[in-house]
Each structure stands twice: as C-alpha cells, then as structure tokens.
Amino acid sequence: MDFGYADEIRADFPELAVEALLVGGITPGTEVSGQLSRFTAVATERLGPRTESDLPEIQAWRRAFAKMGLKPTQYRCASEALLRRLRKEGALPRIHPLVDLCNAISLAFAIPVAVIDMAMMTGRLEVRRAKGTEIYESFSGAIEHPEPEEVIYADAGGNAHARRWTNRQSGRSAIRATTATALIVAEAMHATGRQDVERLIDAVAAALTGINGVHVMERQSFPI
C-alpha cells in the first residue's frame, strides 16, 4: 500500500484520523443489494428529521474545508454530498458493487470514503498540497489543474486523483469493470474519528468477507 500523507497535512490537521484497506477480486456482477439496503437504512434513521449538516462528522469536515479557504456550502465533502442526495432523492444511483457498498457505508457513518483503482497510479499516492501543475481528469473527461496549495490526492506522475481533498475524485482512477485492486480510504476529522474510521473499515471488510473471489490484501491506519 504505497499511500500516505505529506508532513504538512499532518501538521495542519492533527485531528485527522484515517483507515485504509487494499482489496482485490471484486467484479461488476457481485451482489450487494441486501447490504446496501441495510446501511442506507442506518443513515436514514440517523438523519431522521435533521439534515446532514447537523451531524458532527459533517460539521468537522466543514470546519476543515473552511480552514482550507473553501466555502463549506459550495464545496462539500463526499459523505455530505451523498447524504444530501439521499435526503432529497431517497436513493443513490448504482455504479459498481464496490462503489455502491462503500457509498452506503459512507452514508451510515457520515464519513467520506474514497475508492480508487490502483492500476491507474504512477508510483506513490499521497495526500498533499498541489503545485498547480498536476493533471486532474473529471468524469466527463475534461482536464483540469488544481489550484496551487489545494489539498489533493496526487501520484508520483503528477496526476491528481482527487480535488479539494474529500470533495471530488477523478475519473482517471474511478472503479470500473476492469478494476482488479482497489484502495479504500476513510477519513474523519471529528472527536471520535479514530474509533469511527476503524469501525467503518471493519464494516467494509466484514461486508466483503464471504464474497466469492474477493480478498483483503492489506490494512493500514494513517497518519503514521
């Protein structure tokens, strides 16, 4: 698992808690419907009459985005965006079994979860501040360059695999039918984040256990 965090990110966000899982063997035909319903029900019950912005996990990421100079209501962390869509539309679109499962678990925990195709990495993947020259490919195929100092997921080849940290992943490394190995990353900023990212990754690992051909290759806590 050639993945980590730049020292400046650790220094600027000492509250950050991260758990990552490297998995292989999942295919587009994997059946996860029952698990999606279970985790989505947890999120719906937890939200109740509230909005996602009332949850401590989301409030903590809003503070982090404000610290990065971003308007939290303009740029939302991935879990907030998913919860908002669930509240407004009642369901999430189906994309790929692994993405669908991680999205549902992200809803249940209100914690952003990145799911990245490791075959699309060039060398080490690191969460760091951008130089502004990195290449980001959107899901539409458009090419962008992150703003200098923006927090991104970047590989050694100068590819940005996420912009504004937990706001938007890249189409370049999105999970697809041909994905063989995926990196799953859960990142939290709230007071009980360490325990919660561990429980989240436990839930992912448990959900994948028993699925034919799927195997957990490595697990790691960050920052270390």
Query: Looking at residues 108-116, what average pLDDT do you find?
Result: 98
Assign 214 a pLDDT band (cuts: 50, 70, 90): confident
Q: CA 27 to CA 15: how far, in whole Å?
A: 35
Burial (CB < 10 A; 0-12, 13-18, 19+), residue 148, is: exposed
Q: CA 139 to CA 149: how far, in whole Å?
A: 23
Query: Looking at residues 197-220, what average pLDDT do you find?
Result: 91
Q: What is the pLDDT of residue 201?
A: 98
pLDDT of residue 80 exceeding 70, the answer is yes
| Average pLDDT across the chain, whole number | 95
Assign 210 a pLDDT band (cuts: 50, 70, 90): confident
Angle between helix 193-208 and helix 56-67 axes, rounded to 10 deg: 110
**Identity of the amino acid at 159:** N
Assign 143 a pLDDT band (cuts: 50, 70, 90): very high
pLDDT of residue 39 exceeding 70, the answer is yes
Assign 71 a pLDDT band (cuts: 50, 70, 90): very high
Query: Looking at residues 15-25, what average pLDDT do you find?
Result: 96
Q: What is the pLDDT of residue 29?
A: 85
Contact 82, 107 (CB under 8 A): yes
Beta strands in the chain (DSSP E): 3-5, 17-24, 113-117, 125-129, 135-137, 143-144, 151-155, 159-163, 168-169, 181-188, 215-222
Q: When comparing pLDDT for 33 and 191, which is higher?
A: 191
Q: What percent of the chain has pLDDT over 70?
A: 99
Contact 20, 222 (CB under 8 A): yes
Tokens of 79: 């879990």
Q: What is the pLDDT of residue 224?
A: 59
